[in-house]
Chain A
Amino acid sequence: MKLHLKIWRQKTSTATGSYETHTVEADEHMSFLEMLDVLNEQLISEKKDPVAFEHDCREGICGACSMVIDGRPHGPQNGTTTCQLHMRAYKENDTITIEPFRVGAFPVVKDLVVERSSFDRIIQAGGYVSVNTGQAQDANATPIEGGIAAEAFDAATCIGCGACAAACPNGSAMLFTSAKVNHLAKLPQGQVEHKKRVQSMVAQMDKEGFGFCSNVKACEVECPKEISTENIAALNRAYISSMFTTSD
């Protein structure tokens, strides 16, 4: 099928970008990224600069792929990363607009590639349990009810892609941050540092320039792992209570 692509091109983080249009011949069995591979091979054969985009696992787990397709981070299908989207979702002569995640705290590197190290710094601010290698007790010493472990797991499936912030009109990173906070808060191992963690991760999020959360809930719709906004509500409650109770 013939497709028309309107793609954001931007040479460097400081350059001004603009849209470029291209036509590609795609096959319905291709993944969206394979369609972009075809475009890039075409551009290279014309000695032109290929479109830069981030990708690695191509099966929805590494969180590298990151683009806004026709206004939606990761494209039209819910619960799907860009790399899992297949061209069956499109038809002959469709025009597809592709642009980078547009979030202040994710500066554009080139074309569709953005820099998301702000997420790493949020985790560094407290998204862990302070236990050195070798200090652990036996794994079965503390039983954890199966349902609770499953809830912790659901929050822990976040792939750190940043679609939540890209979907949010305020560019907030609350869904990402709250997913990590709640993953750890559900488990006994994470409870000791819970309050401190909440404060420092939220503080880091603000410092990185992410926006505030005004309960728009667009993040939950676009999150490829369908992380629930209940996590945000829980984080808000924990944040308020931590204001009154932490000692340092």
Chain B
Amino acid sequence: MALENKVPPGPLSEKWTKYKSTMNLVAPNNKRRIEVIVVGTGLAGASAAATLGELGYQVKCFCFHDSPRRAHSIAAQGGINAAKNYQNDGDSVYRLFYDTIKGGDYRSREANVHRLAEASTEIIDQCVAQGVPFAREYGGLLANRSFGGVQVSRTFYARGQTGQQLLLGAYQALSRQIAKGTVKMYNRHEMLDLVKVDGKARGIIARNLLTGELERFAAHSVVLGTGGYGNVYYLSTNAMGSNVSAAWRAVRKGALMANPCFTQIHPTCIPVSGEYQSKLTLMSESLRNDGRVWVPKSVADAEAIQRGEKTALDIPEEDRDYYLERRYPAFGNLVPRDVASRAAKVACDEGKGVSKTGLAVYLDFASAIIRYGKSEALTTGISNPTEAKIKELGEEVVAKKYGNLFQMYEKITGENPYKMPMKIYPAVHYTMGGLWVDYNLETNVPGLFALGEANFSDHGANRLGASALMQGLADGYFVIPYTIGSFLANEIRTPAFSTDMPEFEQAENDVANRMEKIMNIQGDQSVESFHRRLGKIMWDHCGMSRNAEGLKEGRQKIRALREEFYRDVFVPGRADEFNPELEKALRVADFLEMGEVMILDALERNESCGGHFREEYKSEEGEAKRNDADYTHVSAWEWDDTNPILHKEALEFENVELKTRSYK
């Protein structure tokens, strides 16, 4: 299969403008007759549905949540990037484009990323107009902060709840269209299959989660904004319900899954505290500005801590290993996410972990507290302050900077991070991979589009902080409303589709059979227990670092687990009623296939880049080693029960030069 990316010709900075002004349009009177299904109400889906509604299309919008406002986007904390250059610090569309390409370790498509950077500025305008209460300076202008790895201040934020405020903005725009009748909203409806007619996406089968009924929906085109697949690992910072099923069902209908092995593992999360753990909580990257990461030098000390016989405070300075400062003197504790995560794993693998489970490292604020305390004493004119006074003053400064995070940490762990170093460990956070899409955000299935975290398009092998929110809203507000016209302009004479067509009947029967099969197993193990075991396999074999041997073993384990699932899972209740266990079972069944494709992709990609670290491919100092000659491409997978098939899209870099990242 030839993957045609449909990137328009012309100089990089003019492609999008020119394309927009010359592309085919759908006239307003025709829009009224054209139906579009949007699945998902996160930043990507809600912004798309609202905007398509405003344009006059007849939109049907779906989410599995009880309200569109609860999509996982609501949980994003830190901020959203935009090349506004309000700080006059040299930012520009080109710089944002370049940072994103480089941050992604040169594995994303230039034209898409440039368009993203162009759209970024309009997003902020739009959100402010909607009433999103971004942080502001005293003078009333918008405030910015800096985020990891870049040299400008371009991140807009609303305290620690940027995702919430942006999503509520999109939700409100969507609500307005629902009230106007241009969007019909289906809450608690889960898409369980894609319907194709003559090879084109023309509808979905959804389960009404309240009644258990299967329902058919037809449209001229289907748009998926259904989020990422991080929960294949069971434990992640994603919301419990986030899942891959909508995208996976599209793959089962012929769409391709691109770069599935590119997952982002965030270094600073609250570690697993026990077997019952259900999800992991992120501790913002900003903490690494002042926190020092360490473990004991000796395994004996670490074991004493694990047994509860010693605490961090019993380990004298000379017996501590500040391993990031030691290994990366130039960047120290502020190395990028992937590097920091791998280093924590190495320390714990050596037996130096500092919690009961041995899977945690310290993030210590003691030196920062003393440092701030001393300078505070100096500036407030306290001479000869006692040590206690210095600490008190220092803690006040730290509380001002990170108070809400320290409080969140204490709520979860019951420990006071001012007195005892935080314990942190890396956790799965984001998935760069996703459905393969061309420049129009259209998958290889005509009429099927994918937006937001559900597609693979903009972040390459590693996403920069505050860029996912930007991408979701760019896709939904400013890209799809235009690019969907490339498909729909040829559909203005196509009458509405009837859900009585055999294609719909067939798809509904398939879903019913799939559910019946799972309900009828009546085995002995819960869905949750299978999901946990899948997560463990993925984490052990396809997590922070990977090798061919382990990946092959992981693949066998997943296949065995899948077989066991279909033999021994137990789902209580019935299919024709409200049944959260059945919902989970269907999602886990899809994760059991997705996991295998991730492993295959990781195995096939014989290089280390971004979040994908293959132990065989590293420099003498143990750093990631890319192989540009053989792997400057997108890997797009076609599902097949025995052997999924790999397709490639070559990545061409005409505007940036490929370089090695170094943090020494």
Give A contacts to B, CB under 8 Å.
Answer: 12, 27-31, 33-34, 37-38, 40-41, 44-45, 47-50, 52, 54-59, 61-64, 80, 84, 86, 88, 109-110, 113, 115-117, 119-120, 123-125, 127-140, 143-146, 149-150, 152-153, 156-157, 159-160, 183-184, 187, 189-190
Contacts and interface: CB of A to CB of B under 8 A. Distances in A.
B66 A117 contact: yes
Contacts of A152: 131, 133
Interface in B489-539: 524, 526, 528-529
B414 A86 contact: yes
A170 B47 CA distance: 36
Given A127-B175, A129-B131, A152-B131, A120 B241 contact: no
B67 A49 contact: no
A4 B158 CA distance: 41
Among A12, A38, A133, A160, residue most surrounded by chain B Cβ atoms (within 10 Å): A133
A120 B175 contact: yes
B83 to A, nearest CB: 12
A83 to B, nearest CB: 9
Among A57, A127, A149, residue most surrounded by chain B Cβ atoms (within 10 Å): A57
Interface in B176-198: 176, 178-179, 185, 187
Given A29-B274, A50-B581, A61-B161, A139 B478 contact: no
Contacts of A52: 578, 580
A139 B578 contact: no
A139 B128 CA distance: 6
A63 B48 CA distance: 23
Interface of B: 47, 50-51, 54, 65-70, 72, 74-75, 84, 86, 122, 124-131, 133-142, 158-159, 161, 164-165, 168, 171-173, 175-176, 178-179, 185, 187, 210, 239-241, 273-274, 276-279, 281, 408, 411-414, 477-478, 481, 524, 526, 528-529, 570, 572-573, 577-578, 580-581
Contact of B133 (A119, A130, A183): A183
Contacts of B478: 133-134
Contacts of A34: 276-278
Given A80-B411, A139-B125, 5 more contacts: A44-B570, A56-B239, A128-B173, A128-B176, A153-B133
A55 B70 CA distance: 10
Contact of A190 (B131, B136, B581): B131
Among A44, A58, A62, residue most surrounded by chain B Cβ atoms (within 10 Å): A62
Given A30-B276, A109-B210, A143-B141, A136 B128 contact: yes
A3 to B, nearest CB: 14
Contacts of B277: 34
Contacts of A129: 129-131, 172
Nearest to A42: B526
A48 B581 CA distance: 12
Contacts of A29: 273-274, 413-414
Contacts of A135: 129
Contacts of B210: 109, 115
A48 B572 contact: yes
Contact of B176 (A124, A139, A146, A160): A124
Nearest to A119: B67
B572 A49 contact: yes
B140 A145 contact: yes
Among B47, B179, B210, B477, residue most surrounded by chain A Cβ atoms (within 10 Å): B179
Contacts of B581: 44, 50
Contacts of A86: 411-412, 414
A47 B50 CA distance: 44
A59 B572 contact: no
Contact of A27 (B86, B137, B171, B274): B274
- Report the 5 A-B pairs with minimum CB-CB distance, sorted nearest first: A143-B140, A128-B172, A136-B129, A153-B133, A136-B125
Contact of A137 (B47, B129, B274, B529): B129
Contacts of B411: 80, 84, 86
B54 A132 contact: yes
Contacts of B134: 139, 149
Contact of B278 (A37, A50, A137): A37
A34 B532 CA distance: 14
A130 B177 CA distance: 10
A183 B134 CA distance: 12
A58 to B, nearest CB: 5
17 contacts: A27-B276, A37-B528, A41-B526, A50-B580, A55-B240, A57-B75, A58-B239, A59-B281, A63-B74, A117-B67, A123-B172, A128-B175, A129-B129, A133-B173, A133-B478, A136-B122, A189-B131
A110 B173 CA distance: 31
B290 to A, nearest CB: 23
B65 A56 contact: yes
A139 B142 contact: yes
B131 A63 contact: no
Given A88-B414, A183-B133, A38 B276 contact: yes
A34 to B, nearest CB: 5
Contacts of A130: 176
Nearest to B139: A143
A128 B130 contact: yes
A133 B130 CA distance: 9
B70 to A, nearest CB: 5
A128 B171 CA distance: 9
Among B51, B133, B176, residue most surrounded by chain A Cβ atoms (within 10 Å): B133
B125 A153 contact: no
B61 to A, nearest CB: 12
A52 B142 CA distance: 43
Given A49-B573, A84-B411, A56 B70 contact: yes
A56 B131 contact: no
Contacts of A48: 572
Given A28-B414, A29-B414, A184-B131, A140 B526 contact: no
Nearest to B68: A120
A58 B278 contact: yes
Nearest to A48: B572
